[in-house]
Amino acid sequence: MDAYAANVHPCFIAGRPEQGVGELVVHHPFDGTEVARCAVPGPEQIERAVASAAAVSTTLRTLPAHRRAAALDHVSAGIRERAEELAEIITAENGKPLRWAEAEVDRAVSTFRFAAEEARRFSGELQRLDTDPAATGRLAMIRRVSRGPVLGISPFNFPLNLVAHKVAPALAVGAPIIIKPAPRTPLACLLLGELLAETDLPAGAFSVLPVGNEETQALVKDARLPVVSFTGSGPVGWSILDTVPRKHVVLELGGNAAAVICADYPDLEHAAARIATFGNYQAGQSCIAVQRVIVDRAVADRFVPLLVESVRDLITGDPHDPLVEVGPVVDEAAAARIEEWITEAVDGGATLLTGGKRIGTSIEPTVLSDVDPSAKVWREEVFGPVLVVSVVDGVDAALDAVNDSPYGLQAGVFTRDLQTAFTASSRLDVGGVIIGDVPSYRADQMPYGGVKGSGVGREGLRSAMADLTEERVTVFTGIEL
């Protein structure tokens, strides 16, 4: 990382690298060392980015599909070629263990590849209108067209792949995008800008603006950016929707994902290992990291010790160590908050089964039981390496417990019973139900998003492309079918 930290990395204004009016310093979450500096654009540069996006909107929308797809293929290949460098950058700016950074890079390769594939086949449909005599000779062509330039606001926890999920579908449908990375983690996004700048996309098709909250609020309100796609905290997301109710707003606002262990599930050791891993795999900083573990009483005596043992076996420490599975959270303020929530739960009667200690930005992987349902570790999104165990009687009680949440992103149900699987799919108020595994499973091409406090809209390449476009109907008259 020393070479990467040597220079001030440019922002991208209408597809071109530029230095800014200030600098943003990025620090390593694990030890606080300086990782790199990047340029912060000024008002004139921000205005040029927005004006260029608006000016190029029609051109990009009508750009042949093969050119949009070729640009996306180029980015996918570029990420693959620079995979080792990108993984090191993600670990340095985010603090996630190198093994998970490498997995994120692999996913970003696929995300852009999927977008290129969808760009080539995203067409529309024909509809006969001569089903009534008055419409004889008429045929409707229904296609989806870009709603216009997109403002994409991305979080710190997946600094490459969640940026990819905003950039790739926008460019696939011909929508210019201005991406605003999280201020803690702009570096992977800026490297993505380098790859995009190598394509033949027209000027204004993309900009990367590492700006602060005040500038972001102005971008949200700018009428030239009719679509806002935000991933992050609930209060910020809902305030965006309240601020611009007439814009098309996509929100992914997190959750407190539950995993249900049913009495019929035969391999409790496997379930415990999966939950331990995916409750802690980004130090719990994933919207679908396991947080609540809901166990049927019939198997609780066997399952809970296995879970505690699996959590204790996780390797913690310096995230650059390839053996480490759990690294730090993003900063000391986040670590202190998580520690306070654990203490609050224990003071309220919870049993600390393992973990609970904090050293700087690192939280020991933690398992709690007997937690009051009103405690923050149960009701809110911890966004840290904390698992909360609840024991219930039967499937119905378990599904009710999952739904007893202000969030509804994804849930996992460990069962081999087909009827239980269908019942869970029908009754759970979440955007996705994962049968036989943790709620943390996500394939980047599938629809992804939540209900209730988890947001509105869907990601996943084709789903996001539909979300960023609207139907346009063209009726042909005097056609013999």
Return the pLDDT at 3: 45
96-136: pLDDT as tens digits: 999 999 999 999 999 999 999 999 999 999 999 999 999 99
**Contact in structure between 150 and 166 (CB atoms under 8 Å):** yes
Spatial separation of the C-alpha atoms in residues 442 and 303, rounded to whole Å: 25
Nearest CA to 367 out of 276, 271, 438 is that of 276
Calculate the CA 104 to chain-centre distance.
11
Looking at the predicted structure, is the pLDDT value of residue 92 above 90?
A: yes
pLDDT bracket for residue 7 (50, 70, 90): confident
Strand 351-354 versus strand 451-452 pairing type: unpaired
* 254 compared with 36, residue with greater pLDDT: 36
Looking at the predicted structure, is the pLDDT value of residue 220 above 90?
A: yes
Token digits for 87? 């993984």
Contacts of 64 (CB under 8 A, 6+ apart): none
Please state, as a whole number, how many other Cβ atoms lie within 10 Å of the Cβ of residue 218. Answer: 14
Nearest CA to 414 out of 306, 287, 325 is that of 306
Give the chain's length.
481
Exposed/middle/buried for residue 419 (C-beta within 10 Å: 0-12, 13-18, 19+): exposed
**Contact in structure between 22 and 183 (CB atoms under 8 Å):** no
Instruction: Please spell the DSSP secondary structure of 160-218, one letter per residue.
Output: THHHHHHHHHHHHTT--EEEE--TT--HHHHHHHHHHHTS-PPTTSEEE----HHHHHH
Return the pLDDT at 43: 97
Looking at the predicted structure, is the pLDDT value of residue 355 above 60?
A: yes
Return the pLDDT at 115: 98
Name the average pLDDT for the chain.
Answer: 96
The per-type count for the chain, helices as H runs and strands as E runs, is 15, 25
Contacts of 479 (CB under 8 A, 6+ apart): 137, 138, 139
Q: At what angle do helices 98-121 and 65-81 cross, to 10 degrees?
A: 170
**Contact in structure between 319 and 96 (CB atoms under 8 Å):** yes
**From 287, 364, 381, 459, the catalytic residue:** 287
Would you tell me which CATH number, out of the four given (3.90.420.10, 3.40.309.10, 3.40.50.2000, 3.40.50.300), belongs to the domain 258-443? 3.40.309.10
Instruction: Please spell the DSSP secondary structure of 133-167, one letter per residue.
Output: GGGTT-EEEEEEEE-S-EEEE--SSSTTHHHHHHH
Domain ranges of the chain: 4-253+455-473, 258-443
**Contact in structure between 257 and 353 (CB atoms under 8 Å):** no
Return the pLDDT at 204: 97
Calculate the CA 107 to chain-centre distance.
12
DSSP letter at 10 equals P
Looking at the predicted structure, is the pLDDT value of residue 214 above 50?
A: yes
252 is catalytic: yes
Note the pTM of the prediction, 2 decimals.
0.95
Spatial separation of the C-alpha atoms in residues 128 and 138, rounded to whole Å: 7
Return the pLDDT at 266: 97
Count of CA atoms in the C-beta half-sphere (13 A) of 61: 18
Token digits for 43? 């008002």
**From 102, 252, 325, 364, the catalytic residue:** 252
- Backbone angle region of 129, left / alpha / beta, with phi > 0 → left and psi within -120 to 50 → alpha: alpha
Exposed/middle/buried for residue 35 (C-beta within 10 Å: 0-12, 13-18, 19+): buried
pLDDT bracket for residue 55 (50, 70, 90): very high
Spatial separation of the C-alpha atoms in residues 162 and 231, rounded to whole Å: 8
399-449: pLDDT as tens digits: 999 999 999 999 999 999 999 999 999 999 999 999 999 999 999 999 999
Return the pLDDT at 481: 85
Nearest CA to 29 out of 320, 447, 445 is that of 320
Question: Averaged over 296-306, what is the pLDDT?
Answer: 98
Spatial separation of the C-alpha atoms in residues 242 and 236, rounded to whole Å: 10
Nearest CA to 334 out of 229, 210, 182, 189 is that of 182
287 is catalytic: yes
Return the pLDDT at 6: 52
Looking at the predicted structure, is the pLDDT value of residue 5 above 80?
A: no
**Contact in structure between 28 and 95 (CB atoms under 8 Å):** yes
Please state, as a whole number, how many other Cβ atoms lie within 10 Å of the Cβ of residue 223. Answer: 11
Q: What is the fold, at CATH topology level, of the domain defined by 4-253+455-473?
A: Aldehyde Dehydrogenase; Chain A, domain 1 (3.40.605)
Looking at the predicted structure, is the pLDDT value of residue 62 above 90?
A: yes
**Contact in structure between 310 and 321 (CB atoms under 8 Å):** no
255-296: pLDDT as tens digits: 999 999 999 999 999 999 999 999 999 999 999 999 999 999
